[in-house]
Amino acid sequence: MAPAQPKGARIVGPWARLKLAWVLTLNAAYDARRLWKHSYLTGIKGRETLRSRMHMTGHFLEYGLSMRSPRAGFGKDRVALLCDDLGSYARHYGWDATCEIMLRTLEAYRDFNAGAGQDIAALDQELGQIAALRDWQGAPLRGGTETVTREEIQRRGKIDFLDFAEARHSIRRFAPGPVAPDKIDRAVRAAQMTPSSCNRQTCRVWIWTEPEAVQRVLAMQSGNRNFGHEVSGVAIVASDLTHWYEVEERYQGWVDAGMFAMSLALGLHAEGLGAVMLNWGEEYPQDQALRELTGIPESALVAVMIGFGNLPETLTVPVSQRGPLDTCLTMNLPLKG
């Protein structure tokens, strides 16, 4: 007869269960409290929450404009909200990249409606008043829609991605020496292209490359004990909780940050560097200790660290064999009813 439990299975007694449940509750409360405090579940709280709402509204307009047949005059309520938010944001906090992008988006919306024969005089006047607040010396930023072609998408996207993915390994041996800063910049720029919920771009990354700082950050993390001393750079990837506004979004930050982290790891791979994800599956006291060391704010939901560095000539990596495709993929599962 087969044993009821596989050998070595953890049998947890009633007191241990109670303790585990308590620890789980404390940790869940820690996450919930930070979401409550920093998100705008209960309303706009300041600069970042207002910025988030502007990005969401701007996204709604761009999205609408990109449909096959946008309806002339769609989304008037959102346009009014965005004009209000943009004006008050610029007056309170000054003109920044968010303002620039939102003004471009509103101009694109106005131009579309002018082309569709709508009366845009009031909006045009409002945009004129907002534009008077404009103070922008940075690189040009765009908003609205653009036309792209299949030829361009396919030409620029044409890499053997399966081969690229198969050539990536979690690297735990590194060649000594610093990583070229432009490679880090390019990898982060690629990670910034990761999709994010309503284009809110909630992800933040803190990177250390100075050897002593790298080691101090790595000392907080438990999964690098036998190789951390070889790592040349460490990144902490987080999602900014100030961007979330509904209870149903409570796990969205983990999704955004996980996707961003993967893009960053692939970006480092594309730059010819080695990288390894380093889990941040920690209980709240350790999470607080990391913030104390680094100054990363409580509003940042830390999801994962990434260690990286230059690749040695040859190295040994685990095979990490993936299962057959059917252990992962189910196609066309018959639907019920």
Ligand X SMILES: Cc1cc2nc3c(=O)[nH]c(=O)nc-3n(C[C@H](O)[C@H](O)[C@H](O)COP(=O)(O)O)c2cc1C
Q: Which residues bind ligand X (CB under 6 A)?
A: 169-170, 172, 223-224, 276-279, 304, 317, 320
**What is the smallest separation between the CB atom of 90 and ligand X, expressed in angstroms?**
39
**What is the smallest separation between the CB atom of 278 and ligand X, expressed in angstroms?**
4
Torsion sign over Cα 182, 184, 189, 193: positive
**What is the smallest separation between the CB atom of 319 and ligand X, expressed in angstroms?**
9
Which one, of 280, 282, 277, lies nearest residue 308 by Cα? 277
**What is the smallest separation between the CB atom of 273 and ligand X, expressed in angstroms?**
14
**What is the smallest separation between the CB atom of 266 and ligand X, expressed in angstroms?**
11
> Of 205 and 304, which CB lies nearer to ligand X in the complex structure?
304
Cα angle for residues 202, 206, 209 (degrees, 5° grid): 155
Tokens (6 digits) for 240: 């900014």
> Of 53 and 172, which CB lies nearer to ligand X in the complex structure?
172
> Of 45 and 169, which CB lies nearer to ligand X in the complex structure?
169
Q: In what order do the strands lie in the sheet with 273-279?
A: 203-208, 233-240, 300-310, 273-279
Query: Shortest Cβ contact with ligand X: which residue?
Result: 223
**What is the smallest separation between the CB atom of 284 and ligand X, expressed in angstroms?**
18
> Of 295 and 318, which CB lies nearer to ligand X in the complex structure?
318
Q: What is the C-alpha separation between 323 and 270, in angstroms, rounded?
A: 25
> Of 50 and 303, which CB lies nearer to ligand X in the complex structure?
303
> Of 54 and 301, which CB lies nearer to ligand X in the complex structure?
301
As a three-state string, the secondary structure of the chain is CCCCCCCCCCCCCHHHHHHHHHHHHHHHHHHHHHHHHHCCCCCCCCHHHHHHHHHHHHHHHHHHHCCCCCCCCCCHHHHHHHHHHHHHHHHHHCCCHHHHHHHHHHHHHHHHHHHCCCCCHHHHHHHHHHHCCCCCCCCCCCCCCCCCCHHHHHHHCCCCHHHHHHCCCECCCCECCCCCHHHHHHHHHHHHCCCCHHHCCCEEEEEECCHHHHHHHHCCCCCCCCCHHHCCEEEEEEEEHHHCCCHHHCCHHHHHHHHHHHHHHHHHHHCCEEEEEEECCCCHHHHHHHHHHHCCCCCEEEEEEEEEEECCCCCCCCCCCCCCHHHCCCCCCCCCC
> Of 64 and 223, which CB lies nearer to ligand X in the complex structure?
223
> Of 188 and 278, which CB lies nearer to ligand X in the complex structure?
278
> Of 5 and 320, which CB lies nearer to ligand X in the complex structure?
320
**What is the smallest separation between the CB atom of 230 and ligand X, expressed in angstroms?**
12
**What is the smallest separation between the CB atom of 264 and ligand X, expressed in angstroms?**
12
**What is the smallest separation between the CB atom of 223 and ligand X, expressed in angstroms?**
2
Residues 6+ apart with CB under 8 A from 27: 283, 284
